[in-house]
Amino acid sequence: VETTRWTNPHCCPCCRLYGCCYIHSGTKENVAFSVRLGNNFPKSGVPITFRDVIYNGQKSYDIMTGIFTCEHPGVYEFQFHCMINKNDASVDLLRNGELIVHSFTTRQNGYITASGNTYVKLQKGDKVWLMANHGSNGLTKDSFFSGHLLFTE
């Protein structure tokens, strides 16, 4: 895998010292998606299918199954923010069926916000999705799920 090194001397102390920074190193693989729930009413206990595509250029997120499939091994960042109306609910981020992040929830004005953000190392073929534990029919259309490749190792 070829990497691109940025050598901006004004970027950070690392770049000034060494002429490049590991954090600012890129790869040729570009993987990113961002999806919104839209007018979908998900069920509890199965992957939430976010159908409104904000960006899915590499088609790594399947809008029919609600599952992101890793094609390029590396470290990924995933984010989600779900608004839930009138129901108690929580949302989990899973990799291959195993819990990665249980949502942080807060209640305000009758809505629950379930959100999370994490970095996770994935191998080719790994699958990542969001799942509502209960109360999923209260998810609002503005709930979203995003992910992108940070770097390969």
Q: Note the pLDDT tens digit of each residue in 28-81.
A: 689 999 999 987 678 888 999 999 999 999 999 999 999 999 999 999 999 999
Please give the model's pTM, rounded to 2 decimal places.
Answer: 0.79
Q: At residue 8, does pLDDT exceed 50?
A: no
pLDDT at residue 44, rounded to an integer: 85
What is the rounded (10 degree) CA torsion for 66, 99, 26, 81? 60
CA distances from 86 to 24, 50, 106 (A): 43, 20, 13
pLDDT-above-90 percentage for the chain? 54
Domain ranges of the chain: 27-152
pLDDT at residue 139, rounded to an integer: 84
CA distances from 143 to 8, 40, 128 (A): 37, 10, 17
CA distances from 76 to 48, 131, 151 (A): 19, 19, 7
pLDDT at residue 27, rounded to an integer: 52
Helix, strand, coil fractions of the chain, as percent rounded to 5: 10, 50, 40
Average pLDDT over the chain, rounded to an integer: 83
* Topology adopted by domain 27-152: Jelly Rolls (2.60.120)
pLDDT at residue 63, rounded to an integer: 95
